[in-house]
Structures are given as C-alpha cells and as structure tokens.
Amino acid sequence: MSSESSKKVPEPRLVTVRKTQGELGIQLCGGNLRGIFVERLEEDSPARGADGLVPGDMILEYGSVSMKNKTVEEAYLEMLKPAETVTFRVQHRLDEFNQVKDTPGDGFYIRALYDRVAETELDLSFKKDDILYVDDTLRNGNFGTWMAWQLDENAQKIQRGQIPSKYMMDQEFYRRHSMTELKDETGSSKTLSAAARRSFFRRKQKHKRSSSKDGKDVIALDAISTDSIPFLDDFVSLAYQRVQKIDCTSPRPVLILGPLVDPVKDMLVKESPEKFSRCMLEVMKASQQAIERGVKDFLFIDYKRRSGHFDVTTVASIKEITDKDCHCLLDIAPHAIERLHSVHIYPIVIFIRYKNAKQIKEQKDPVYLRDKVSQKHSKEQFEIAQKIEQEYSKFFTGIVQGGTFPYICTQIVTIVDQEQSKVLWTPLGSP
C-alpha cells in the first residue's frame, strides 16, 4: 500500500510568480504530444522558492491559457508576453518528466508553402506542398529553428533536418516585402504597427546566457523581442500550414469541372461501370426554405431548381455509392466542395482545360455527343471554365488537357487511381 501511495500523482497547485525585468529563467521540455514540463530553473529565477516551481512540474495552465496541446515553442512564446505577475497551474509528474526530458516532445504535420534549398548539411531541402513532420520546435533551446522529417507519398519518414520556424519565416516575409498592410485569406486587412515590423528575433546580447546542456548557448526568455507576438497570434502563416492525415477506406467521390463534362461522365460510367457511378439526384417537392435547411443541417450538399421541384444531391446518395466500392461522379457546383469537407467527404476534383472555345466547338463523338456544339455555346462554356479555374483552382486535385473524349477519360482514370492510393492531407482545424 505504501508503495502505491508514493506513486500517486500530487494534486495540481497554483504558483504565482512576480517577473523581474521580464525574465522567468525557466527552461522547458516536452511538447504538444506529452505536455509541457519545467526542466530547469536559473539560479536567480523568480519562480524558485519553497512555494515555487520545481523540475518535473507539468504546466497545465499559464495565466488563463491552457498548455494542453501546445508545442514547447508556443509555451515559451506565451511566457514571453509582458506581465508583471503570472500564475502557473502545475502538477508534479516526475515519472512522465523522466521519460520526456531527453527526447523531443513535439509532433505535428505541416505542408510547406514555399521551396527551400538546404544551406548546410544539417538543413532540410523541400519543395512547396511537401508534407513534413516536425518533432522539435525549440532546437537546443534556441528559437528560430525546427527539426523536421521529410515524408514520402505514403507518409513514411525519409530524411531529418532543420528548417526555419514558422515565426522566423513569417518575420522574414514581412521584412523582405516591407509591407504596411497584409491581406489574409478572408480578404480582411491587418495593419502592421512599427513595433510589429521590428525583427521578432532581435537578440539582446547582454541577456544571452550560457548553459552546460549540450555545450550550447541557450537564449534566455527575454532574448526575443515580443513586439510582434500579438500580431502573430491570429495570423495565417505564409510559410507552413498545419495538416492532418485522413484515412480514406472507401473510394473518394470525383467532381469533374469544365466544359462538356456530361458526355465525359457518361463515357466513364459506360466504359468502367465497376469503377464509376453517377450520383443520383433526388427529386424533391419542397419549399426553398426546407431545402436550404437541409443544406444547413448537412443533409444536402447542393440543389438545382426545376419547374415545380428541386434536384438535390444528398449526403446519403453519395455514401450509398462509395459504400459499394465505387467512385461517385458528383453533379454539384464548385462552391459546394467545402460543404463536402464539412461532412468528412474529400472529393478528387479534376478540371478539364481547353485551349480555347474553338477546341470545344470541334468536339465530336457519335455516341456521347450527338448534337454539334454551337459557336455561342462553346464560347459560353469556355468563359465559364475560365471563371471556375480562377476562383476554385485551390480545390483542384488534377488538371487534364482537352482532347478527344477517350483521351480525356484516360487522363481522368489515371489521376483518380493515383489520388486514391495517396495519403490524404487536410488542413488541421477543418472538420
């Protein structure tokens, strides 16, 4: 009984610390996978004392901010923010600390949004849209560098190396472009103050300290300018996007966009009925409000008004086809793609790109396109396709070049097979 009680984890406790000259003198370890731990305290740390922090404390909350799922770098950044007095909510977990202290405690996936060529042997090269796995956000206690693995198409680790951190790259972007306004993805603008434009990684040499750990310099908590941290908190990074791995056990639905998609879908179904099936539209006689309520409740994905009724694409009709181990050929507008994502359906989106309206007009097929395409219709189709590409290209999985219908279908089948076999990555935070 005594050995069991000695292993019992103590109750959480509150530790209030008064900052002196902005310094806390705390070295952290752990990360978003295992929790944030106090690894070491400087000799003159205000957090020392009988009622203070001790190595092995897991930090549950800092002020009003939960440390759950925070990377070790994010925890440091939180503790850099100006405050005279701060309160820690901690729990002493020595066994877990001993497992964590000598190994990286972070772990998350990112999509690179830029190309990078390694400058040293320690660096990692990657291309835009490569998926990386970050396992250390505070390399040897220093800000500005992450350790990451490059992954192959099957999400297997290939090579590990250091990359600039998100904060370093975003600050580099601001400095390089000397921007006063930056538009985020929603189109709203944020004004950068003069303070925010100052280097986030300005080091104050007089506060730089040396640590015996690994024989490397560990930068003290106040060694980084905190001017731009509030700005970065709600900013969409221009360097990396956090992503998550999605397991797709069923065939993914296929949305084909561009001119003359109906004959293409007809050909795919007739040539490969075991592989493709068109999504049946449900005929519904209901009010506009009832249909829109179905969309809002995630029962319907899209609808088309007909005389006296609506043709509706339902979630159930899509799943009915995918459950039969078949790719569902969707008949929805491109703006409905995000509705699919919200119900955990991730379509393969393929755009057919024709060179010009003339190429569309010249399309002929005795079986799948019996009516000749008029000049007016081909011009309209080409202009609509240009708008779709301009507005929705971010959703495109692949682009096929216009040609004969058999040629287009062959390209589509190749893309579908390739995409179905790949690991699917979606932005973290999406449902």
Segment 387-425, tens digit of pLDDT: 999 999 989 999 999 999 999 999 999 999 999 988 889
Burial class (CB in 10 A: 0-12, 13-18, 19+), 385: buried
Segment 231-241, tens digit of pLDDT: 444 456 788 99
The reported pLDDT for the residue numbered 81 is 86
Q: Where on the phi/psi map is residue 54: left (φ > 0), alpha (ψ -120 to 50), or beta?
A: beta
- In this predicted structure, the answer to whether residue 77 has a pLDDT above a threshold of 80 is yes
Residue 196's φ and ψ, nearest 5 degrees, are -70, -25
Q: pLDDT-derived band of residue 330, with 50, 70 and 90 as boundaries?
A: very high
CATH of domain 249-427: 3.40.50.300
Helix (H) or strand (E) holding 319: helix 315-322
- This model's pTM is above 0.85: no
Q: Are 6 and 201 in contact (CB under 8 A)?
A: no
Best-predicted range by mean pLDDT (40-44, 122-126, 173-177): 122-126
Q: pLDDT-derived band of residue 7, with 50, 70 and 90 as boundaries?
A: low
- In this predicted structure, the answer to whether residue 217 has a pLDDT above a threshold of 60 is no
- In this predicted structure, the answer to whether residue 202 has a pLDDT above a threshold of 50 is no
Segment 269-284, tens digit of pLDDT: 999 999 999 999 999 9
For the chain, give every domain's residue range.
13-101, 249-427
Q: Is 311 helix (H, G, I), strand (E, B) or coil?
A: strand
Segment 15-42, tens digit of pLDDT: 999 876 667 888 899 999 999 999 999 8
CATH topology of domain 13-101: Pdz3 Domain (2.30.42)
Tokens of 26: 């705390």
Q: Are 406 and 367 in contact (CB under 8 A)?
A: no
Q: Is 218 helix (H, G, I), strand (E, B) or coil?
A: strand
Tokens of 144: 């500005």
Amino acid present at 326? C
State mean pLDDT over 187-194. 40
Q: Are 346 and 427 in contact (CB under 8 A)?
A: no
Strand order in the sheet with 254-257: 276-278, 327-329, 254-257, 348-353, 398-401
